[in-house]
Structure 1
Amino acid sequence: MTEPRQPEFPAPETTTTQPAAPAGPAPGALSPEEVSARFTDIFGAAPDGVWTAPGRVNLIGEHTDYNEGFVLPFAIDRSAAVAVRLRDDKTARLFSSYGDQGVVAVDLTTLSHGTMRGWTAYPLGVVWVLRQMGVEIGGFDLFLHSTVPTGAGLSSSAAIECAVASAFNDLCGAGLTANELVLVGQRAENEVVGAPTGILDQSASLLSTDGHAVFLDCRTQESKPVPLDLAAEGLVVLVVDTKVSHAHATGGYAARRASCELGAEVLGVQALRDVTEAELPEAAGLLDSETFRRVRHIVTEDRRVLDTVAVLADAGPSAIGALLTASHASMRDDFEISCPELDLAVDTALANGALGARMTGGGFGGSAIALIPVAEEAKVRDAVVRAFAGAGFTAPDIFAVSPAQGARRVG
């Protein structure tokens, strides 16, 4: 296979999390002071600090990350916040504002995959990975509050992982770079949670800056910010959370990854990132029809990411709609990870003024996004709600998102 075109990246920067002013609060968010106060109420003393990390919308580039390809996500103004205080013993006490589980206590001397269950697998998975890397973490108290919807394809799990990784990186003086923290979060997701994901989600949560998307080469981990000033163009990105919950640790996601790995093996390449569109006819003769469709999605999706970055630079976000819509068609037809609710959200948005629309995230449920002129926002919202009601689907949650700042210390 011949080498495909490569993007230009600046020299990578090494960064560590630093205190910074938080962005404006999302609905349901607590201020850093409120997070600290909740921690104090629960654990009886003030935390050592408060950290936050955002969820993300993937503008384009789905399932390309574990194929060593290209992605273009941006952090959103919905995030996970953690308050942490180190303890002198080997006990971890964790409390989440989700549900009524109360304080969960874990003996860190016996920490293993079997002791990390439910929501605690995300923060404890990060702690486990850091300790495996030699970071000395003793006991701690941790309070978690998040405004990232769960199961919506907006990386609620990565937001938790990145907030926790940032906290312990600072508190323990580990000195890990943002790119190293990305791999910590991915390893926790892969080895503890059991989800075979790539580095997209953690990269978006850790590397994003206000008003920009992150153009990421998932082979090299090189990245650069790409301006995404939606407001200046009179545009808004609407998220349509279909309320069809998905989970990366289930079979559909793993099956797609296995198909991609099979395709790369048969085609004799390191990863599908190394296959060009010109080579697809040859590939069709070597692969079974299903594997070929999976391969075709990855190859064409990589090209769409590169094209989107180029179009954003040349013409701005108002010109990328067709690429977003083509991405959805590829995920629906070739990768087969959409569902009726996602398709209805996309089709309805397009029929009512959206410039482009696509499902976002791992698929099999979750959310769709629509790029919409501000003047058409109310029309699209109303049309999608009515369409879901008419189809007998659960009412969706619809909200606008803006490119936001990545993980940081806020208190």
Structure 2
Amino acid sequence: MKNPLIENISKAFIDTFKQDPILVFSPGRINVIGEHTDYNDGFVFPAAIDQGIAAAIQKSETNTCIAHAYDLNDSYEFSLDNITPLQNGGWRNYVIGVVAEIQKKGITVPAFNIVFGGNIPEGAGLSSSAALENSVVFGLNELFKLGLTKSEMILVSQQAEHNFAGVRCGIMDQYASMFGQKDHALLLDCRTQEATPFFIDLHDYQLLLVNTNVKHDLSEAAYNDRRQVCETVSKHLKIDALRDATEADLLKIKSKLTEDDYQKALYVIQENNRALEAVDAMKANELERLGALLFASHDGLQNQYHVSCPELDFLVDFAKNNENIIGARMMGGGFGGCTINMVKKSALETVQKTISKIYKEAFNKDCSFYNVNLSEGTHLVQI
């Protein structure tokens, strides 16, 4: 089956560089449940989706590299010597960050050219950044036979995010994008980086993503702040990460914490338990129970972890009061992006029409919809 995205990226590369490239597709991801647990060594339940980043890459005939962001019609030429993060570098930092992190492993990266583009919007909470990082490291590994395993590649991508984009993310986004399996979600233990795939069959329901089309600027600083809170509480508890704590443990040190920090840590402990319970619900084919866990997750993200926003809360409140939706929550880092919803297939069209209308009335802007299918992880493609 033809893929217009991959064909466009391939054509753009050939037109620009007069070479045939190797082609990589790296998917975005959803996360069924388990939000902000990954950097606490906890459990998450993500899946790769059939939308993501396509990259065309080939050796350069010069000593410098050119990276071209197809969707932005924006190019950046750079040297492979002394790579450092760019101030306000945006997408450039993801590309050069991956190169720099490979170099830190003592591996030489020869000059290359790359063209990339995607069909997931930045800021939607579908991990376009992890998909881009993975497409670069996977493409370079293939092109130059660098000998990196997929497990090593996702650590390169994660370090690029930490050191060049300034976001101290966990491993979930890179893992799900790299290791995703068609029609499966992955119960990922973020401490051991071991995952158990679960076939997803929602029967009469469909996963619908509703994009608020907002991305509030405080997300990166707030993300890092919450990670710092989790690490501070872990030190109080004398444990490596909140994954090792129970609610009873946390209660014992409550007097040492602000109420705000106590609630944030409590949320992480409870969300970790919800991720495990969600797997039990899936195994038992209890979709209503899974849906209830999604609603509980959003409640914690909104009222304990404080990473939601009015637009996300509005969409989840609508879902709670709609008989055709059995579960919904915000997904991703927060402060914008998408909600994930379990919607009755027979009511999809009606639900979307209703949400479009009331969201526009409430916020004077449009939301967007994605019906996602679960896909395989980062891979080479042929045209």
Query: TM-score if structure 1 supplies the norm length?
Result: 0.89
Q: Distance in 2 between matches of 1:99 and 1:35?
A: 13
CA contact (8 A) 1:197 1:248 kept: no
**1:8 aligns to what?**
none
Q: Residue 140 of structure 2 is aligned with which of 168, 184, 191?
A: 168
C-alpha spacing 1:116/1:89, structure 2 compared with 1 (3 Å): farther
Q: Among residues 20, 24, 30, which one is paired with 1:46 in the alignment?
A: 20
* Equivalent residue in structure 1 for 2:166, among 175, 180, 194: 194
Q: Which amino acid aligns with 1:330?
A: G
Give the alignment of 1:1-16 within 5 angstroms. Answer: none
Q: 8 Å contact 1:153–1:246 — kept in the other structure?
A: no
Q: C-alpha separation between the residues in 2 aligned to 1:86 and 1:53? A: 20
1:325-404 map, 5 Å:
325-352=295-322, 353-404=324-375
Letter in 2 for 1:266: H
Task: For 1:250, give the aligned amino acid.
Answer: E
**Gaps in structure 1 of 5+ consecutive residues:** 1-22
Q: Does 1:125 align with 2:97?
A: yes
Report the Cα offset of residue 180 of structure 1.
1.3
Inter-partner Cα distance in structure 2 for 1:318 and 1:334: 24
Q: Which residue of 1 aligns with 2:175?
A: 203
Given candidates 136, 141, 145, the residue that maps to 2:117 is: 145
CA contact (8 A) 1:266 1:287 kept: no
Instruction: Report the CA distance between 1:310 and its aligned residue.
Output: 1.3
CA distance in 2, matches of 1:286, 1:312: 38
Counterpart residue number, 2:152: 180
The offset of 1:286, in angstroms, is 3.4
Question: Which position in structure 1 is the counterpart of 2:79?
Answer: 107
Structure 2 counterpart of 1:223, which letter?
A: A
Contact 2:219 2:333 in 1 (8 A): no
The alignment status of 1:255 with 2:255, answered yes or no, reads no
Measured against aligned partners, the alpha-carbon deviations of 1:217-237 in whole angstroms (never above 9, x if no partner) come to 11111112111123xx02111
The CA deviation at 1:282 is 2.2
Q: Tell me whether 1:30 sits opposite 2:1 in the alignment.
A: no
CA contact (8 A) 2:50 2:374 kept: yes
The aligned length equals 381
- CA deviation vs aligned residue, 1:9-66 (integer Å, no higher than 9, x gap): xxxxxxxxxxxxxx874xxx513x442222111122222x000100011111111011
Give secondary structure in 1 for the equivalent of 2:333. Answer: coil
The answer to whether 1:59 aligns with 2:32 is: yes
In the TM superposition, what is the alpha-carbon distance from 1:317 to its structure 2 partner? 4.3
Return the offset for 1:87. 2.1
Does residue 1:323 correspond to 2:293, yes or no?
yes
Q: Determine if contact 1:125/1:192 at 8 Å carries over to the other structure.
A: yes
Q: Return the offset for 1:116.
A: 8.7
337-346 or 381-390, larger mean C-alpha shift: 381-390
Alignment of 1:70-109 (within 5 A): 70-101=43-74, 103-109=75-81
Q: What is the CA–CA distance in structure 2 between the aligned matches of 1:93 and 1:111, rounded to whole Å?
A: 14
Give the whole-Å Cα distance in 2 for the aligned partners of 1:104 and 1:280: 48
Q: Give the root-mean-square deviation of aligned CA atoms.
A: 1.8
Q: Is 1:268 the counterpart of 2:241 in the alignment? A: no
Task: Please list every run of 5 or more consecutive structure 2 residues that lacks an aligned counterpart in the other structure.
Answer: none
Q: Deviations over 1:274-296 (max 9, x none)?
A: 10133343243332201100101
Q: 1:249 to 1:322 in 2, by over 3 A?
A: closer
CA contact (8 A) 1:37 1:46 kept: no
- 1:227 to 2:199 alignment: yes
SS of the residue aligned with 2:284? helix
**In structure 2, how many angstroms separate the alpha carbons of the residues matched to 1:256 and 1:387?**
32
Maintained 8 Å contact 2:48/2:377 = yes
Q: Which residue of 2 aligns with 1:289?
A: 259
C-alpha distance in structure 1 between counterparts of 2:61 and 2:376, whole Å: 33
Whether the 8 Å contact between 2:360 and 2:367 is mirrored in structure 1 is no
